[in-house]
Amino acid sequence: MRTALLALTLLAASAGFAQAQERTPSQRQTIIDIAYVLGESHALRQACEGAYDQYWRDRMIRLTDTEQPDPALDRRMKEAFNSGFALRRAEHPECTRASRIAEAAAARRGQGLAARLSDVTYRLDPREAAAQRAAEEAEAEADLPLRR
Protein backbone atom coordinates (compact mmCIF):
# COMPACT_ATOMS: atom_id res chain seq x y z
CA MET A 1 0.00 0.00 0.00
CA ARG A 2 2.78 2.43 0.88
CA THR A 3 4.57 1.83 -2.39
CA ALA A 4 1.36 2.41 -4.34
CA LEU A 5 0.69 5.62 -2.42
CA LEU A 6 4.25 6.79 -2.99
CA ALA A 7 4.00 6.08 -6.71
CA LEU A 8 0.73 7.98 -7.00
CA THR A 9 2.08 10.88 -4.95
CA LEU A 10 5.28 11.09 -7.00
CA LEU A 11 3.41 10.99 -10.28
CA ALA A 12 0.83 13.56 -9.19
CA ALA A 13 3.51 15.89 -7.88
CA SER A 14 5.71 15.57 -10.92
CA ALA A 15 2.80 16.00 -13.34
CA GLY A 16 1.75 19.27 -11.76
CA PHE A 17 5.31 20.36 -11.19
CA ALA A 18 6.34 19.87 -14.81
CA GLN A 19 4.22 22.87 -15.77
CA ALA A 20 6.78 25.25 -14.26
CA GLN A 21 9.41 26.48 -16.69
CA GLU A 22 11.90 27.84 -14.18
CA ARG A 23 12.82 25.88 -11.10
CA THR A 24 14.31 27.24 -7.95
CA PRO A 25 17.47 25.60 -6.66
CA SER A 26 15.39 24.13 -3.84
CA GLN A 27 12.91 22.61 -6.27
CA ARG A 28 15.72 21.16 -8.38
CA GLN A 29 17.28 19.63 -5.26
CA THR A 30 13.95 18.11 -4.27
CA ILE A 31 13.69 16.46 -7.69
CA ILE A 32 17.22 15.10 -7.26
CA ASP A 33 16.31 13.83 -3.80
CA ILE A 34 13.26 12.06 -5.24
CA ALA A 35 15.49 10.41 -7.84
CA TYR A 36 17.77 9.21 -5.04
CA VAL A 37 14.82 7.72 -3.13
CA LEU A 38 13.60 6.04 -6.31
CA GLY A 39 17.05 4.45 -6.69
CA GLU A 40 16.98 3.25 -3.08
CA SER A 41 13.49 1.88 -3.54
CA HIS A 42 14.52 0.12 -6.75
CA ALA A 43 17.37 -1.72 -5.02
CA LEU A 44 15.30 -2.62 -1.98
CA ARG A 45 12.40 -3.91 -4.04
CA GLN A 46 14.73 -5.94 -6.27
CA ALA A 47 16.22 -7.57 -3.17
CA CYS A 48 12.83 -9.13 -2.48
CA GLU A 49 11.19 -9.31 -5.91
CA GLY A 50 14.21 -10.23 -8.03
CA ALA A 51 16.56 -8.52 -10.45
CA TYR A 52 13.98 -8.43 -13.22
CA ASP A 53 11.63 -6.19 -11.22
CA GLN A 54 11.70 -2.72 -12.79
CA TYR A 55 8.85 -1.06 -10.87
CA TRP A 56 10.83 1.88 -9.42
CA ARG A 57 13.16 2.21 -12.41
CA ASP A 58 10.07 2.63 -14.59
CA ARG A 59 8.86 5.35 -12.20
CA MET A 60 12.20 7.11 -12.58
CA ILE A 61 11.82 7.01 -16.35
CA ARG A 62 8.32 8.47 -16.00
CA LEU A 63 9.67 11.22 -13.77
CA THR A 64 12.32 12.22 -16.30
CA ASP A 65 9.79 12.01 -19.15
CA THR A 66 7.34 14.19 -17.27
CA GLU A 67 9.90 16.62 -15.92
CA GLN A 68 11.88 16.95 -19.17
CA PRO A 69 14.92 18.24 -17.27
CA ASP A 70 17.70 20.26 -18.81
CA PRO A 71 20.90 18.24 -19.39
CA ALA A 72 22.50 19.26 -16.08
CA LEU A 73 19.45 18.32 -14.02
CA ASP A 74 18.98 15.12 -16.01
CA ARG A 75 22.58 14.08 -15.27
CA ARG A 76 22.18 14.88 -11.56
CA MET A 77 18.89 12.97 -11.37
CA LYS A 78 20.45 9.88 -12.95
CA GLU A 79 23.51 10.11 -10.71
CA ALA A 80 21.26 10.39 -7.66
CA PHE A 81 19.17 7.39 -8.74
CA ASN A 82 22.29 5.30 -9.33
CA SER A 83 23.84 6.39 -6.01
CA GLY A 84 20.69 5.50 -4.07
CA PHE A 85 20.54 2.17 -5.85
CA ALA A 86 24.20 1.33 -5.22
CA LEU A 87 24.05 2.23 -1.54
CA ARG A 88 20.96 0.17 -0.79
CA ARG A 89 22.08 -2.75 -2.97
CA ALA A 90 25.32 -2.93 -0.97
CA GLU A 91 23.50 -2.62 2.37
CA HIS A 92 20.67 -5.04 1.55
CA PRO A 93 21.68 -7.61 -1.08
CA GLU A 94 19.00 -10.03 0.16
CA CYS A 95 15.38 -9.75 1.22
CA THR A 96 15.27 -9.50 4.99
CA ARG A 97 13.19 -7.81 7.64
CA ALA A 98 15.77 -5.00 7.64
CA SER A 99 15.40 -4.50 3.88
CA ARG A 100 11.62 -4.26 4.27
CA ILE A 101 12.03 -1.69 7.05
CA ALA A 102 14.44 0.28 4.86
CA GLU A 103 11.94 0.13 2.00
CA ALA A 104 9.19 1.54 4.21
CA ALA A 105 11.51 4.32 5.40
CA ALA A 106 12.37 5.21 1.79
CA ALA A 107 8.65 5.30 0.97
CA ARG A 108 8.00 7.73 3.84
CA ARG A 109 10.86 9.95 2.73
CA GLY A 110 9.66 9.87 -0.88
CA GLN A 111 6.15 10.80 0.18
CA GLY A 112 7.48 13.80 2.07
CA LEU A 113 9.57 14.93 -0.90
CA ALA A 114 6.69 14.54 -3.33
CA ALA A 115 4.40 16.45 -1.01
CA ARG A 116 6.99 19.20 -0.83
CA LEU A 117 6.96 19.55 -4.62
CA SER A 118 3.21 19.83 -4.76
CA ASP A 119 2.92 21.98 -1.63
CA VAL A 120 2.40 25.71 -1.53
CA THR A 121 5.53 26.20 0.57
CA TYR A 122 7.36 27.32 -2.55
CA ARG A 123 4.94 30.24 -2.73
CA LEU A 124 5.72 31.30 0.84
CA ASP A 125 8.21 33.92 1.81
CA PRO A 126 11.62 32.30 1.24
CA ARG A 127 12.48 32.42 4.97
CA GLU A 128 9.16 30.80 5.94
CA ALA A 129 9.55 28.14 3.27
CA ALA A 130 13.13 27.40 4.36
CA ALA A 131 12.05 27.01 7.98
CA GLN A 132 9.19 24.71 7.00
CA ARG A 133 11.43 22.59 4.76
CA ALA A 134 14.05 22.32 7.52
CA ALA A 135 11.40 21.09 9.94
CA GLU A 136 10.12 18.55 7.38
CA GLU A 137 13.65 17.32 6.66
CA ALA A 138 14.42 16.91 10.37
CA GLU A 139 11.23 14.90 10.79
CA ALA A 140 12.01 12.73 7.74
CA GLU A 141 15.59 12.12 8.87
CA ALA A 142 14.36 11.03 12.32
CA ASP A 143 12.41 8.23 10.61
CA LEU A 144 15.37 6.91 8.63
CA PRO A 145 17.59 4.14 9.97
CA LEU A 146 21.14 5.15 10.76
CA ARG A 147 23.64 4.65 7.95
CA ARG A 148 27.07 3.27 8.60
Residue 18 banded pLDDT, cuts 50, 70, 90: very low
For the segment 132-145, what is each residue's pLDDT rounded down to a tens digit?
A: 667 666 665 555 55
**Residue 89 contacts by C-beta under 8 Å, 6 or more apart in sequence?**
43, 46, 47
> Rounded to whole angstroms, how far apart are CA atoms 121 and 127?
10
Residue 56 scores a pLDDT above 60: yes
What is the distance between the alpha carbons of residues 93 and 59, in angstroms, rounded to a whole number? Answer: 21
pLDDT of the residue at 19: 43
b/e burial code for range 43-67 (CB count within 10 A of at least 16 → b)? bbbbbeeeeeeeebbebbebbbebb
Q: Which residues, 6 or more positions from 122, have their beta carbon under 8 angstroms from its beta carbon?
A: 24, 26, 27, 129
pLDDT digits (tens, 9 = 90+) for 59-101: 999 999 999 999 999 999 999 999 999 999 999 999 999 999 9
Model confidence at 104: pLDDT above 90:
yes
